[in-house]
């Protein structure tokens, strides 16, 4: 299996604060990877450093075997990473259709698997609201729009950071169903979510971060069964 994203001994700082302290992890093509950890342990920073929003102070980021440490976010996106950040990042003053159409492009290998039609079939609620402005959408619809935008870039890896945050339970369930559907298409995913059991149920592998280090990593099924470890590291 080709490794898509490989982080090796990655470090990052915010000023004097040493937030990532030597992270190593690999995400092979087609694999769903869960990133777990209590609040403030460095999950979002890991993603932002891999994407080039935060500077790596040591270590490397590689994509498909090529070192890309320090590459800007736009380059990482063009290489095939679709990133749905915490807080969604949609354009509130544009319509649903405009948000989607402006994101659309072929994937790094020329793939056009995800068209506007396919995204609308995946998220029928968006199809009903194509002319609405981003600010008129519910939180769940905004999240679906953010995921739809990322899919329209035809990524090889889709990163979801807290995609279910603040949503009603039935909307959360809909997001997880969509995550499962996306996973079944063979796109690799990197998933961060507060619901540990849901993350483990929707991923092949997972790693637990504590203070900027990976303290435990393995098959998601094995982690699910290790309730002692989940209690110790995550308090669940
Ligand atoms: N822009 C920033 N400037 C300074 N410190 C930051 C910044 N962003 C995050 N931090 C700090 O870095 C550490 C890691 O934060 P990060 O957001 O990566 O954690 P997280 O695991 O995503 O947490 P959460 O579950 O709350 O989203 C925390 O101590 C946080 O307070
Ligand atoms: Mg975070």
Q: Which residues pair with 62 in a beta bridge?
A: 6, 67
Q: Which domain holds residue 45?
A: 3-234
- Decide: 39 in ligand 1 pocket, CB within 6 A: yes
**Does the pLDDT value for residue 92 go beyond 90?**
no
- Please state the atom number of ligand 1 nearest to the C-alpha of residue 48: 18
- The count of domains in the chain is 1
Ligand nearest to the Cα of 20, by number: 1
Ligand with the closest atom to the CA of 46: 1
Residue nearest to atom 28 of ligand 1 (CA): 40
CATH number at residue 68: 3.40.50.300
The whole-model pTM stands at 0.97
* pLDDT tens-digit readout, 35-75: 999 999 999 999 999 999 999 999 999 999 999 999 999 99
- Give CA–CA dist 199/204, Å, rounded: 10
Whether ligand 1 lies within 6 angstroms of the CB of 41 is answered as yes
Q: For residue range 149-206, what is the model confidence (pLDDT) as tens digits?
A: 999 999 999 999 999 999 999 999 999 999 999 999 999 999 999 999 999 999 999 9
42 lines ligand 1 (CB under 6 A): yes
- Percent of residues, the chain, with pLDDT higher than 70: 100
pLDDT at 91: 86
Phi, psi (5° rounding) for residue 49? Answer: -75, -45
Each residue of 202-223: pLDDT tens digit?
999 999 999 999 999 999 999 9
Other C-beta atoms within 10 Å of 74: how many?
Answer: 10
pLDDT tens digit string along 125-156?
999 999 999 889 999 999 999 999 999 999 99
């Amino acid at each position: 299996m080709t490794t898509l994203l490989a982080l090796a001994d990655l470090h990052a700082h915010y000023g004097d604060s040493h937030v990532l302290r030597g992270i190593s992890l690999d995400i092979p093509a087609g694999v769903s990877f869960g990133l777990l950890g209590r609040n403030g342990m460095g999950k979002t920073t890991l993603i932002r450093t891999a994407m080039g929003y935060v500077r790596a102070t040591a270590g490397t980021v590689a994509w498909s075997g090529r070192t890309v440490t320090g590459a800007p976010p736009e380059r990482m996106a063009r290489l095939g990473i679709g990133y749905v950040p915490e807080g969604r990042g949609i354009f509130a003053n544009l319509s649903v259709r405009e948000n989607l159409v402006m994101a659309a492009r072929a994937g790094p290998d020329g793939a056009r698997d995800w068209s506007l039609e396919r995204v609308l079939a995946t998220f029928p609620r968006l199809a009903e609201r194509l002319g609405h402005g981003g600010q008129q959408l519910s939180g769940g619809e905004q999240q679906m729009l953010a995921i739809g935008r990322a899919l329209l870039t035809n990524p090889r890896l889709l990163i979801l950071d807290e995609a279910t945050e603040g949503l009603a339970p039935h909307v959360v369930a809909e997001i997880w169903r969509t995550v499962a559907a996306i996973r079944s298409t063979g796109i690799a995913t990197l998933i961060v979510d507060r619901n540990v059991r849901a993350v483990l149920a929707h991923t092949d592998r997972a790693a637990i971060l504590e203070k900027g280090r990976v303290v435990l990593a393995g098959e998601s099924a094995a982690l699910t069964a290790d309730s002692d470890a989940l209690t110790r590291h995550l308090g669940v």
